[in-house]
Amino acid sequence: MSPLALTAFTATSALGRGLAATLDSLRTQRSGLAPCSFETVTLDTCVGAVAELDAVRLPPELSEYDCRNNRLAWLALAQDDFGESVARCAARYAPQRIGVFLGTSTSGILETEIAYRQRDPGSGALPAGFRYRGAHNTFSLAAFTQRALALAGPAAVISCACSSSAKVFASAQRAIAAGLIDAAVVGGVDSLCLTTLYGFHSLQLVARTPCRPFDAARDGISIGEAAAFALLERADANLDADDVLLLGTGESSDAWHMSTPPPDGRGARAAMLQALAAAALEPGDIDYINFHGTGTASNDAAEATAVAAVLGRDVPGSSTKGATGHALGAAGALEAVICALALRAQLMPGGINTSAVDPQLPISYLRENRTAALARVMSNSFGFGGSNCCLILARAG
């Protein structure tokens, strides 16, 4: 594929608002995970919540989209001059020539969960004012973002569980290559809700203490919330050395089980090989890998096996979910932005919370930050339904 430039990007998560706060948290190895006090949840677990999200308000003209998820999107869009960069891009092409492709798994379902507690005792009806299109519907995030950024091109939400907002990079890349659009806003937003907290609990996949990816004693995920966005354009000749490129994407399906990967991680392996082929790279060209690394026993084992099969066991890598929690449908974009930051800062972020790396896993897991020459990095995202996606990002110079 032809490389695309990430001409703007931003992220807001439990690590903070915007790139500077995110990078500072990574440099100091600060975790955003804390005991869960979200809404009425009574589970003994930790979450990566975005600070003061409850205080964020949408502007009146966008109030039909009000929900926790779109407030998080609004908060993130206001960081790092992202909106200004998109406006410049829209002036250069046209609002109709810029696509919006965003990932989310649960959109504004928290509003629906709360509305179900407020049903009319007689009729069972939802409370007046319940907004299906603006809050509940999965597309609400992309509709809201498109309006917030005054764009008018093709738009879609891609909802493939925890691979969603990695896959948006691949869809946007195809749409640009096919000539459907000239540029795309991609990203992902997922916010805390009861469905995922109680749902992962029902599968016994939620850790009590902050998650410990690839630890010998890992015992599940910590759920986080995040919003991350990037503006993708064709890479032109005027790139700075610090600019970040999307070099390759790979996608595959496990065709195995709804919530567990095959032990050999063959779907993950296929996605990584495809991304390398798309980027015209060899396995030895990858300097750092940001693992999907959720912290469950089976996911981490399958991913380690797949990574070792493709890259060998010596490429340094880490999961940043010990710091951010698992942002589910936003994880792919969040970790792509973390990779872009890593390339800019020449910093491999160590994976925190992990105290003893599982000796059974054939990988070189970084627990401490390492400063090193980073040219090309890989980011994995895998989701329920056996949906796998791998992205390769690189410095322009």
Partner 1 sequence: MDTLQACIASVGILGPGLPDWPTAARVLAGAAPWEAAPVLLPQPVALPSAERRRTGAAVRLTLAVGLEATASAAIDPSLLPAVFSSSGGDGQNCHEICEALASADRQLSPTRFHNSVHNAPAGYWGIATGATAATNSLCAHDASFGAGLLEALCQVRVERRPVLFIAYDTSYPQPMRSVRPIPAEFGVALLLAPPGSAGALAHIALGWSSAPADCMDAAPLEQLRSSIPAARGLPLLARLARGAAGPVRIEYLDGARIALEVSHAAGS
Buried b (16+ CB within 10 A) or exposed e, 59-69: eeebebbbbbb
| SS3 label, residue 100 | strand
- Closer residue to partner 1 in complex, CB, 363/392: 392
- Provide the minimum distance between the beta carbon of 62 and partner 1 in the complex, in angstroms, as a whole number: 15
Alpha-carbon torsion (355, 359, 362, 364), positive or negative? positive
Tokens of 103: 């990932």
- Closer residue to partner 1 in complex, CB, 29/259: 259
Tokens of 137: 């519907």
- Provide the minimum distance between the beta carbon of 257 and partner 1 in the complex, in angstroms, as a whole number: 7
Positions that interact with partner 1 (CB under 8 A): 105, 109, 112-113, 115-117, 119, 123-126, 130, 132-133, 137-140, 142-143, 152, 154-161, 167, 170-171, 174-175, 177-180, 194-195, 198-203, 251-259, 266-267, 270, 383-387
- Provide the minimum distance between the beta carbon of 172 and partner 1 in the complex, in angstroms, as a whole number: 10
User: How many whole angstroms separate alpha carbon 269 and alpha carbon 273?
Assistant: 6
| SS3 label, residue 223 | strand
* Cα-based distances in Å from 257 to 209, 261, 386: 27, 7, 7
- Closer residue to partner 1 in complex, CB, 36/270: 270
- Closer residue to partner 1 in complex, CB, 200/365: 200
Residue 160 annotated to the active site: no
- Provide the minimum distance between the beta carbon of 93 and partner 1 in the complex, in angstroms, as a whole number: 13
User: Of residues 160, 326, 339, 390, which has the active-site annotation?
Assistant: 326
- Closer residue to partner 1 in complex, CB, 36/338: 36
- Closer residue to partner 1 in complex, CB, 170/244: 170
Residue 46 annotated to the active site: no
User: How many whole angstroms separate alpha carbon 319 and alpha carbon 326?
Assistant: 10
User: Of residues 36, 67, 162, 389, which has the active-site annotation?
Assistant: 162
User: How many whole angstroms separate alpha carbon 201 and alpha carbon 44?
Assistant: 10
User: How many whole angstroms separate alpha carbon 75 and alpha carbon 191?
Assistant: 12
- Closer residue to partner 1 in complex, CB, 140/324: 140
- Provide the minimum distance between the beta carbon of 178 and partner 1 in the complex, in angstroms, as a whole number: 4
User: Of residues 292, 339, 389, 390, which has the active-site annotation?
Assistant: 292
- Closer residue to partner 1 in complex, CB, 26/143: 143
Structural contact between residues 336 and 391, judged by C-beta atoms closer than 8 angstroms: yes
Sequential DSSP letters for 102-143: EE-SSTTHHHHHHHHHT--TTT-PPPTT--IIIIISTTHHHH
Residue 292 annotated to the active site: yes
Q: Which of the 8 DSSP states describes residue 357?
A: B
Residues 6+ apart with CB under 8 A from 115: 126, 127, 130
Sequential DSSP letters for 305-351: HHHHHHH-S-SEEE-THHHH-B-GGGHHHHHHHHHHHHHHHTEEPPP
Tokens of 93: 């092409």
| SS3 label, residue 162 | helix
- Provide the minimum distance between the beta carbon of 34 and partner 1 in the complex, in angstroms, as a whole number: 21
Please measure the distance between the N-terminal and C-terminal CA atoms of the chain and give it in whole angstroms: 18
Exposed / middle / buried, residue 42 (Cβ in 10 Å: 0-12, 13-18, 19+): exposed
- Provide the minimum distance between the beta carbon of 256 and partner 1 in the complex, in angstroms, as a whole number: 7
Catalytic residue IDs: 162, 292, 326
